[in-house]
Structure formats: C-alpha cells, structure tokens
Structure 1
Amino acid sequence: MTARIEDVVGALETSYPPDRAEPWDAVGLVCGDPAAEVRRVAFCVDPVEETVDEAIDFGAQLLVAHHPLLLSGVHGVPADDHKGRLVHRMIRSGLGLYCAHTNADTANPGVSDALAAELGITVTGPLHPHREGADTGLGRIGTLAEPEPFERFVRRVAERLPGTAWGVRGAGDSQRPIERVAVCGGSGDSNLDTVVAAGADAYVTADLRHHPAAEHLARQEVPGERVPNLVDVAHWASEWPWCRQAADIVTSALPDSVEVLVSTRRTDPWTVHAHGTATTETGRMPE
C-alpha cells in the first residue's frame, strides 16, 4: 500500500496529540505536501544541516524531528538565513519536515519513557501527571531491577546514552543505594521539588543549573529530608532515545509501507571537553 505524508502524520499524532503541546510550542508539519507519497522517513532530535543531509542521503521524503525548526514568530524564510536555507533545501529536495515537541514530552509513551527504557528503568508513572491519576504528563518515575551504588548508576547512564563532549555528571553521595529513579528528557531543573516529593533516590535530566542544583543538594543536610542525588546529561543525549520510539510508531502503523532511519548524527552543540588541573586532591585551589 502506498503511504503518504498525511498517513505518517496521522500515526504520530495519534501517539503524540498536538493539543497536548504547550501553548508556546510549534508542532506539526513545517513543510511538505500532506498528499505526497512517502517511502522513507528519517528521525532526529534537531532539524539542522547535518540531519537534513542525512535524510536526503537516505532518500527520505519526510524528516521527523523532536525540536521545532521555527519556534519563534517567523515573518519570512529567506534563503540567506540559516533556517530559511534549510526550508528551501528541504522543499527543493522533496523532503517534508514534521516536529513533535512538548506533545511528545508528555505522551504515554513519550520522550521520558524512551529515556527510562534506555537506562533499564521500569516506569511506574509520570513524575508530574497532567491530572490526578493520569498516565500522561512530564517526566517519569520508576525503579531499577535491583539497587546499585550511585557511582555505578552514573556509569550506567554514561554507558547507555550516546556519548557527548558534555558527558554525564553526578552529584551526591557516591555510595548511596539507587533504586527509585526519576527521569525527565530535556531541561528538567524546574521539577526538583517534584522529584523530592516523589521519593526518588536519583534524578536524571539535562541542563541542570548551578544554583538550583546547589540549593537542592543543600537540602540533603536537613534532618528528615529525602533528597535525590542528581545526574546531569547532555540535552540532546537525553532525548535521542525518543527517535527510535517514534520510528517504531510509524513502522507499526504502516508495516511494509515505509522504511525508517534513526539519525546517528550527534547534534549536541558542545563539541570540546577539557578537565582543568588547577585543584588539589582535596578540591582546594593551589596556593
């Protein structure tokens, strides 16, 4: 059976309803004819030069991305602008672009389910449900098959997510047993109070800032407080597992109709990492 872009969009929007996107978000078909035939679909986190190149080389008629290309108000797409240039190139190449962002973040399954599965965490529910008792919402809470020291858990995260220059950073007691884990794909430091209330041993997310993280960890010194350790990963790496989830949704809905490709291009913006040498073993600056 011949599949069309609108068929792929329909499958994705059944799983990631557009009305679940945040009001400020920009999701849906960015360019491409819904009636156009589609034989190959590529999936990525970021719609950028590298992933557009990959999709075109693959012979795709549609690129499905997590991050929106045109999130802010747009009054034109001139070819001498980097985003406009991408739009022109995709149209000339017969490549459509579809974006599923915050509607994929909160879906069940969604971005955080894919992250949890990649880390070997069995999900028990959303971290921040849409409403009481809902199975949809932001982030996920779950458990490991058996407890392990925090130091080993941080290594688990590093081993199972794609490598980046940013790497994986852990904060908290290295020997603390970790069993109950909260995760949130993408930027998640707005959920720190929620993960405390959820009783997690560790929280895995991206883009943790200095002050919120430091203030969170300081609560560990308060008697009776159960404050999770923190694991900070690259934003791109935390959302990359979703690409396979979205690809599986399309192949399940359109079996034998489309071929899929999950991008292997690392589009994390951080490309260089260096360790400083200006501290002693005690962590103090040298005299």
Structure 2
Amino acid sequence: MAALSEIIAVLQDAYPPSLAESWDAVGLVCGDPIEEVRRVLVCVDPVEATVAEADELGAQLIVAHHPLLLRGVHGVPADTTKGGLVHRMIRSGIALYCAHTNADSASPGVSDALAAAIGLRVLRPLNPNADGVTGIGRIGELAEPEPFSVFVQRVADALPHTEPGVFGGGDPDRLIRTVAVSGGAGDSYLATAAEAGVDAYVTADLRHHPAGEHLEGGGPALVGLTHWASEWPWCEQASGIVRDAFAGNVDTHVSTRRTDPWTIRASREHIQ
C-alpha cells in the first residue's frame, strides 16, 4: 500500500499543477492524504457511474481527468448531484484527485495518449508553452501517407465506441501524413492547426460554423470525436504512471464505464 499523499506526489510530478490554466480546478477534491491506498480507478469523468465502479472495485482513490467542482460552490449538500457524489465517496473511503488542463499540457499528456492510440509519431506541441515541450495538443505524423477516408476509419478503430461515432470533413481521397490532435474541445485551435500546415486535425466538440468556415478556407481535413472518447486513452497513461511508481503495492484499473453523455443515435433512412 501507499499513502494517498505519495500517490499525489507522483501524479503532480507527471502532471505539474503549474501547467493548469488559471480558471481550472485541479488536485485533491476529497480524501485524507495520510490514508493508505491499495487500489486506484482512473477515469475521464467523476460521475455516478465511475464512483459506483470505484465502490465495486474497493478502490480508495479515483483519479479523474475532469474536475468535479470546476466552478465555485458554497456547499455540497447530499441532495444535489455533485454533493451526493462527494458524500458517497467520503462514506466509502474514496478519495478524488483531478488532473485536467495540467494533464492536457504535460509531456506526455492527454494528446500524447490520443496520438499514440491513432498511431502517430509525436513531433511537437500544437500550441506550445515557452519551453517548447509542454502545451496543448500535439503534431505528429503517420509512418506512411493514407487517404483521408482510411485515416478516419483508423481513428474510429483506435478509440472506444460512442453512439455519435467518428466523423470526417474533407476530401476522402486527400492524402494524410501530418496530423494535429487535441484531446477535448479543440475548435479554438483550428487556426493553429491550419498555420501548422498539417493534413488533418483530430479533436472533439467541433461546432458547425467554425468547422465549416475552416474547411471552406482550405484548412486541414477534420476528424470529429466525442469529448469522452478523445480523452479516454489518457486513462491508461495515468494508470501506468501510478502502476510503475508503486509496482506490487497499488492495483490500478482503467474505468470500463462509458460516460459519454450521448446514448442513442437515430438517422432518417435515405429515400431515393
């Protein structure tokens, strides 16, 4: 076993809190740093499903990417959604630690995990910090160029299933070699991807107007993902960091609960 404080130290070394955006809320949400941890669950979202999963596993710690309490609160009463989760975790002896934009910017971080899942060799950050190593997003390359239609399928095959699936915008025959990726909502970096001269940009939460204007302007082809799917590969990365640091002493598990909010997909049949 390891003390919670020891695991936090390892996570902070991998994902320095100093890399977090000023508006973010990262770190320990609940839990006693002196308590011992035998089992850890890593997930994207700290929600009812993953808290229940941690409870079932007998985990003493949830490491989540998204913050539970991002905006300021004046209380956590048990009859509210988030307050109820806090109370359940405390009653069950489960601590919650969140690594959000610090994990996005860290090297390796969220976008490195996404790039690796797709099969990219990372070259540099998409939007680098002053050190040129950390920063949001990554630019990478495929071993060999492939048509955009093949590349979109590559992305779909690499990531967990979601009802909305994976969608592409661009010429199906366009050859793709250099690719920008940004886990999470990334349409604020459309211009950055275009300026980088990549062939395609993979990200989540793409909006209609920015995406359309980007493509009309001759920017890189776009691959759209759900937010959860784009960040889920990070869970194995974070799990591996804890597993390697406490080999034989702490069990680590990656959440198997799909917390993407979209659960139904319907489409109108094409009529000739």
TM-score normalized by structure 1? 0.93
One of 226, 248, 251 as aligned partner of 2:240: 248
One of 235, 253, 258 as aligned partner of 2:227: 235
Alpha-carbon separation, structure 2, partners of 1:217 and 1:228: 7
Indicate the SS of the match to 2:244.
helix
Q: AA paired with 1:145?
A: A
Partner of 2:143: 145
One of 191, 211, 214 as aligned partner of 1:216: 214
Map 1:158-169 → 2, pairs under 5 A: 158-169=156-167
Alpha-carbon separation, structure 2, partners of 1:279 and 1:175: 26
Q: AA paired with 1:121?
A: L
How many angstroms does 1:61 deviate by? Answer: 0.4
Alpha-carbon separation, structure 1, partners of 2:154 and 2:133: 26
Runs of at least 5 residues in structure 1 that lack an aligned partner in the other structure: 221-226, 281-287
Q: Does 1:277 align with 2:269?
A: yes
Map 1:1-287 → 2, pairs under 5 A: 2-131=1-130, 134-220=132-218, 227-277=219-269
Alpha-carbon separation, structure 2, partners of 1:277 and 1:260: 44
Alpha-carbon separation, structure 2, partners of 1:142 and 1:155: 18
Alpha-carbon separation, structure 2, partners of 1:248 and 1:125: 22
Alpha-carbon separation, structure 1, partners of 2:207 and 2:268: 20
How many angstroms does 1:74 deviate by? Answer: 0.8
Q: Which runs of 4+ in 1 moved over 4 A?
A: none
- Per-residue CA deviation, residues 237-271 of structure 1 (Å, 9 max, x unaligned), is 00000000000111111121100010010000011
Alpha-carbon separation, structure 2, partners of 1:276 and 1:105: 37
Alpha-carbon separation, structure 2, partners of 1:111 and 1:121: 14
- Per-residue CA deviation, residues 206-253 of structure 1 (Å, 9 max, x unaligned), is 000000001001112xxxxxx210000010000000000000111111
Indicate the SS of the match to 1:90.
helix
Partner of 1:285: none
Indicate the SS of the match to 1:269.
coil
How many angstroms does 1:157 deviate by? Answer: 0.6
Alpha-carbon separation, structure 2, partners of 1:181 and 1:265: 29
Indicate the SS of the match to 2:217.
helix
Identical aligned pairs, as a percentage? 64
- Per-residue CA deviation, residues 64-91 of structure 1 (Å, 9 max, x unaligned), is 0000000111100000001000000000
Runs of at least 5 residues in structure 2 that lack an aligned partner in the other structure: none
Asked which structure has the greater CA Rg, the reply is: 1
- Per-residue CA deviation, residues 37-69 of structure 1 (Å, 9 max, x unaligned), is 000000000000100011111110000000000
How many angstroms does 1:276 deviate by? Answer: 2.2
How many angstroms does 1:278 deviate by? Answer: 6.0
How many angstroms does 1:279 deviate by? Answer: 6.6
TM-score normalized by structure 2? 0.98
Alpha-carbon separation, structure 1, partners of 2:174 and 2:26: 40
